[in-house]
Amino acid sequence: MVGARLAGRYRLVRLLGEGGMGAVFEATNFDGTARCAVKVLSPVFRDDPDVKSRFFDEARAASRLEHPGIVRVFEAGTAEDGTPFFTMEVCEGQSLGGPISTRAPLPPEVVVPLGRAVLAALGHAHERGVIHRDLKPENVFFSGEPSRPAVKLLDFGLARVMDAAGGVGRRTRTGMLLGTPGYIAPEQLGDARVADARSDLYSVGVMLFELLSGRDPFPSANPFEKLTIMLTAEAPRIADAAPWLAPFDAFFRRALAPEPRLRFGSAREMSDALASAAGVVIAAAPSPAPSTAHTTRPPPTQQSPRGDAATQLSIQAVQAHDVAAPPSVRVISQRDLGRAKRRRALTVAGAVLFALAAVVAALVLYAS
């Protein structure tokens, strides 16, 4: 499609990316004076009236989100061959998929400002009744200084379109997987329609854990094992990966709680708790020696990337994000966890039956 004209106004310049729902191209108008990105719905769904209708509805909903941390959606339309598309601003920088894939932990001075910027954008969307429901590293772009990152969240316009096409974390009739099971909240595995703001916050928690620890919070041998662990296991302790990050344990106990009611109630609450935990970690770190004024070292008994000069920031960078002001993280009681375990036992049984049904359906479709 590169070089093609679209709707009599746009020329597709190059492919930026593609996934289960379609492809994204960089485009210009015919005289080359304006630049934008164009998301084109996959031909697989082009003739599905339910998917097309929801595609346009959600693109219009996303266009009403006006926040510097959310990619602007300009308009939706139909190409000459009937393919739905919408135009949006071009993202600069890189996605979180790069740093997370390296499995190299980043210091709190880098991760906390980034996480708070993501939560600020999410809070804006949630206040307007828009839930993302498929937040993952590839949908988070960032650029700028680590202490003041410029963040852009993508694909709000396609969150509900996935339901019409088969659902988040499920396979369509063509075998394409929609959604990313490693990042969607446990309650979405059975029914994506039950997702609310706390589901998005769970996804942010997974990404923050990976960025700080360099590890998958739910390591597993295969996707089915991962889903089972997410539904049954308690939230992981980041101190197991890096003991000097132990003050974050209470934060992740809530952020990655399998029961939505045990999580943070809002993006603002989660952002404040994140900053509070980071303040404890940074305050406990030894002051840098005069000869290494630009390097903040971790306690000598811990392994940490904070000695990497390319990623160092001063303590003031995090203090600038109101680290000292937020309240402390509320600790979940053992009684709450006990109740959650009993509920999860029932949920696991349903999830296992759902997984078996999905496998049988896939085999039947493949055979046909």
CB 150 within 8 A of CB 144: yes
Q: Which residue has the tokens 């597993």?
A: 220
Which residue spans of the chain are classified as CATH 1.10.510.10? 94-362
Looking at 3.20.20.70, 3.30.300.30, 1.20.120.450, 1.10.510.10, the CATH number of the domain 94-362 comes to 1.10.510.10
- Give pLDDT tens digits for 22-41: 789 999 887 777 889 998 88
- Please, what's the b/e burial string for 342-357 (b: 16 or more CB within 10 A of its CB; e: otherwise)? eebeebeeebeeeeee
- Give pLDDT tens digits for 48-78: 888 888 788 778 878 888 999 999 988 888 8
pLDDT at 172: 42
d(CA 264, CA 45): 36
pLDDT at 161: 55
Helix (H, G, I), strand (E, B) or coil at 21: coil
- pLDDT at residue 314 greater than cutoff 60: no
C-alpha distances in Å from residue 100, one per residue of 71, 213, 239? 21, 10, 18
CB 159 within 8 A of CB 134: yes
Q: Could you tell me the pLDDT band of residue 137, with boundaries at 50, 70 and 90?
A: very high
Phi then psi for residue 194, to 5 deg, are -85, -5
Helix (H, G, I), strand (E, B) or coil at 189: coil
What residue spans of 107-185 are helical by DSSP H?
108-127, 161-165
Known catalytic residues are 134
pLDDT at 300: 40
Which residue spans of the chain are classified as CATH 3.30.200.20? 5-88
Phi then psi for residue 186, to 5 deg, are -55, -35
CATH superfamily for domain 5-88: Phosphorylase Kinase; domain 1 (3.30.200.20)
Q: Record the pTM.
A: 0.72
